[in-house]
C-alpha cells in the first residue's frame, strides 16, 4: 500500500504533522507507519503487541520522530488515555488512522455471541473510541483528518464473515455520517475499503 501521489520531503503535506496509527504492529498499520515516516510525519504508533510494535519501529527511517504506545482499542479508557498521552507528548494530532482490527470466521449458527462481542469491540467500538477520543483536539484546531479503515466487506457481505461484515458496514456508516457533520469545520473524515491485503488477518 502506497500513499497516493508520493511527495518529496520538501513538498510533503505530512511534514511535521502528527499521525496517530492504531494496529501499527503489522499489516496495513506497519506499512503506513513506514510511508508516513518517509513523508516526514511525526508518529504516534499503537498496538496491543509490544514486540510487533518494536519491529515496526526498526523499519522506520533513521531519525523518525516516533513514539509507541501499548493500547487495547477495545478498552474505552485505554483509548481515551492514549489520546491524552499523544497530546502530552506531541501537543496535538493531525491525522488519526483507526486501523486496528481482527476477524472471526464462522457461520452465524456456529459463532458464539461472545465471539461477536469480542470482534465488534475491536473493529467497531475501537474505531468509535478512537474517533471520539481525538476529535475534540482536531475540532479545536480546525484542522485534521480521521481515517477509518473499513474493508471491501464493508460494501458487500461474504459468508462466514458475519461479525466482520457487521463491524465494517458499521464503520462505513459511522464515517459517512461523520464526514457530513464535519463540513465547514476544517476537519475531514475518510473511510477506506481495502480489498485483499497480505496481513496477519
Cell of 2: 502506497
The answer to whether residues 82 and 69 touch, using CB atoms and an 8 Å cutoff, is yes
pLDDT at 199: 67
User: Is residue 149's pLDDT more than 90?
Assistant: yes
Q: Is 164 an active-site residue?
A: yes
151 burial (CB, 10 Å; 0-12 / 13-18 / 19+) is: buried
Mean pLDDT computed over every residue of the chain: 93
Band (12; pLDDT cuts 50, 70, 90): confident
Catalytic hit among 95, 125, 129, 164: 164
pLDDT at 44: 98
Q: Specify the residue for cell string 501521489.
A: 5
Band (196; pLDDT cuts 50, 70, 90): confident
User: Is residue 7's pLDDT more than 90?
Assistant: no
At 69-91, the pLDDT tens digits run: 999 999 999 999 999 999 999 99
Taking residues 126-138, what's their average pLDDT? 98
pLDDT at 194: 85
User: Is residue 1's pLDDT more than 90?
Assistant: no
Poorest-confidence range of 21-25, 115-119, 162-166, 197-201?
197-201
Amino acid at each position: 500500500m502506497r500513499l497516493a501521489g508520493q511527495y518529496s520531503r520538501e513538498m510533503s503535506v505530512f511534514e511535521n504533522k502528527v499521525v496517530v496509527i492504531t494496529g501499527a504492529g503489522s499489516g496495513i498499520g506497519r506499512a503506513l507507519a513506514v510511508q508516513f515516516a518517509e513523508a516526514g510525519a511525526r508518529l504516534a504508533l499503537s498496538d496491543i503487541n509490544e514486540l510487533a510494535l518494536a519491529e515496526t519501529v526498526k523499519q522506520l527511517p533513521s531519525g523518525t520522530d516516533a513514539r509507541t504506545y501499548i493500547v487495547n482499542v477495545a478498552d474505552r479508557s485505554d483509548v481515551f488515555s492514549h489520546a491524552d498521552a499523544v497530546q502530552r507528548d506531541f501537543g496535538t494530532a493531525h491525522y488519526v488512522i483507526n486501523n486496528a482490527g481482527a476477524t472471526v470466521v464462522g457461520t452465524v449458527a456456529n459463532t458464539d455471541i461472545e465471539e461477536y462481542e469480542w470482534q465488534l469491540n475491536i473493529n467497531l467500538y475501537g474505531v468509535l473510541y478512537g474517533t471520539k477520543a481525538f476529535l475534540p483536539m482536531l475540532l479545536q484546531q480546525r484542522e485534521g483528518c480521521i481515517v477509518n479503515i473499513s474493508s471491501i466487506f464493508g460494501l458487500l457481505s461474504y459468508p462466514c464473515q458475519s461479525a466482520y461484515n457487521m463491524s465494517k458496514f458499521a464503520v462505513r456508516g459511522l464515517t459517512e455520517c461523520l464526514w457530513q457533520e464535519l463540513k465547514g469545520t476544517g476537519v475531514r473524515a475518510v473511510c477506506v475499503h481495502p480489498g485483499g491485503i497480505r496481513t496477519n488477518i
